[in-house]
Amino acid sequence: MKKEILRIGEEALRELQQLDKSEALQELKVKVLGKKGTLTALLRQMGSLSPEERPVMGQVVNEMRSRLEKAWEERSAELEAIALEKRLAAERIDISLPGSRVARGHYHPLTQVVEEIEDIFLGMGFQIAEGPEIESDYYNFEALNLPKDHPAREMQDSFYITEEILLRTQTSPVQIRTMEKLRPHLPVKVIAPGTVYRNDDDATHSPMFHQVEGLMVDQGIRMSDLKGILLNFSRQMFGESREIRLRPSFFPFTEPSAEVDVSCMLCGGAGCRLCKGTGWIEILGSGMVHPKVLEMGGYNPKEVTGFAFGMGVERIAMLKFGIEDMRLLFDNDLRFLQQF
């Protein structure tokens, strides 16, 4: 009987090594170890053995059984590994093919720049104020210390709708509107992005363009605060290593006034084509709010002071993205816009 057990077992082990399908492996297992399997049948004959032989035979059968089961497991693991290998080989793709299309649009570069400027000033505690693009002569000029026939009005060629109503030439009227709305609240701390218009159209001027105005009014506001805020802005906008410098200038609604230069973002100040060799690039105009303007806005210039500044968004965008021709910004060629 022991011989028979070993024969059946050895034969099954040999057969097993030759099988290469897991179904066949299962079949063989049933044939040998199943209820009606050959080894099981032998086990049933154990009853005819003497009580002394029974445990010996039992041990032989069990040993064979566990050998077989172990071999089965090993073989089926082998087969699984082979099958997986095959599948992986079959499923290989050309990973160099382009990815699936994702439809994503693009923000206009001017929107991106305005939002970036907004975010920087929001971070410094400024609110965003707005005002109409079609504006009265009063807000656009008079309240900004530019009475009719003031020679400085000539700096700006305006588009008129009537004698008293025009397309605003600057975002500065929002200064007055904001102060009128907030007075006597302190501090006034706003920026005002917006579209402005001047009767000018050539390679470096667009009849419509964008500005961001800034205004801060409070007790004890100093020109050095203006410098600090603008340095902070310039570094966030153009890089941590930027410096700024102020140059005396003239605006009717600020006194003292200053033009602000930032150290060249291209050469770092050594001098290059972008900064025309000076190391500095003019980015905005600014100054301490003129007492008359504070008065027009409803604040007492004896009690409060303030600073104001204004920058051209197109210019900032051109500097930031290295855009050489301003007209590209309004040409709306998708090949240009889809770069941003």
Sign of CA dihedral 175, 178, 184, 186: negative
Beta bridge partners of 285: 259, 310
- Binding residue (CB under 5 A) for Zn ion from 1, 43, 79, 266: 266
Which of residues 47 and 97 has its CB atom nearest to other proteins in the complex?
Answer: 97
* Window 93-112: residues binding Zn ion (CB under 5 A): none
Burial class (CB in 10 A: 0-12, 13-18, 19+), 192: buried
Q: From the CB of 63, what's the least distance to other proteins, in Å?
A: 51
Interaction partner, residue 72 (other proteins, Zn ion, none; CB < 5-8 Å by kind): none
| CA–CA separation, 208 and 112 (whole Å) | 18
Which of residues 51 and 98 has its CB atom nearest to other proteins in the complex?
Answer: 98
Nearest by Cα to 144 from 173, 177, 179: 173
- Residue 272 contacts Zn ion per CB under 5 A: yes
- Residue 243 contacts Zn ion per CB under 5 A: no
Interaction partner, residue 100 (Zn ion, other proteins, none; CB < 5-8 Å by kind): other proteins
Interaction partner, residue 272 (Zn ion, other proteins, none; CB < 5-8 Å by kind): Zn ion
Which of residues 244 and 264 has its CB atom nearest to Zn ion in the complex?
Answer: 264
| Residues sharing a CB contact under 8 Å with residue 63, sequence separation 6 or more, in sequence order | none
Burial class (CB in 10 A: 0-12, 13-18, 19+), 309: buried
Which of residues 265 and 289 has its CB atom nearest to Zn ion in the complex?
Answer: 265
List the beta strands (DSSP E) in 86-173: 127-128, 134-136, 165-167
- Residue 319 contacts Zn ion per CB under 5 A: no
Which of residues 72 and 307 has its CB atom nearest to other proteins in the complex?
Answer: 307
Q: From the CB of 129, what's the least distance to Zn ion, in Å?
A: 34
At 240, phi and psi to the nearest 5? -60, -25
Q: Which residues bind Zn ion (CB under 5 A)?
A: 264, 266-267, 272, 274-275
